[in-house]
Amino acid sequence: MPLVNISILKGKSSEYIKSVTDGVNSAVIESFNFPSDDRYQIVHEHEIHCLEMQARVQDRVMMHVIIRKGHSDKAKQLFYKKVTENLSNDPGIDPANVLIAMTENHDSDWSFRDGLAQFLI
């Protein structure tokens, strides 16, 4: 149930984007034990000069994961590992070119619909 913002280089095919989002979702399910349909992802496409990652010039992905507080460091480390493995396998992104930032929040920080904080009900 994390909200994942994924930034990629502009101009990628829909198959490439699906490989990235599927790879991230698979890592979420495996690392944090979320249901397979608990998928909240936003893909942002950027011109090459707008997605800077030190001196890297190859294909790259940057993502910001917002997740409820309470997941262990071990689960987070597994997530980082699984994301880079998945994206290396398909669509072939070098693990050195994957940046992941994670922010934890609280139950009151989520509303999925109807103007309610569902975790507080």
What is the rounded end-to-end Cα distance, in angstroms, of the chain? 17
Residue 47 CB coordination number (10 Å) = 9
Name all domains of the chain by residue range, CATH numbers in brackets: 3-120 (3.30.429.10)
Helix (H, G, I), strand (E, B) or coil at 43: strand
Query: Hunting for tokens 């262990």 — which residue is that?
Result: 72
Q: Is the overall model pTM greater than 0.85, yes or no? A: yes
Q: Choose among 100, 103, 107, 106: nearest CA to 121.
A: 107
- Tens of pLDDT, residue by residue, the chain (121 residues): 899 999 999 999 999 999 999 999 999 999 999 998 899 999 999 999 999 999 888 999 999 999 999 999 999 999 999 999 999 999 999 999 999 999 999 999 999 999 999 999 9
pLDDT value of position 56: 86
d(CA 78, CA 99): 15
pLDDT value of position 55: 87
pLDDT value of position 36: 85
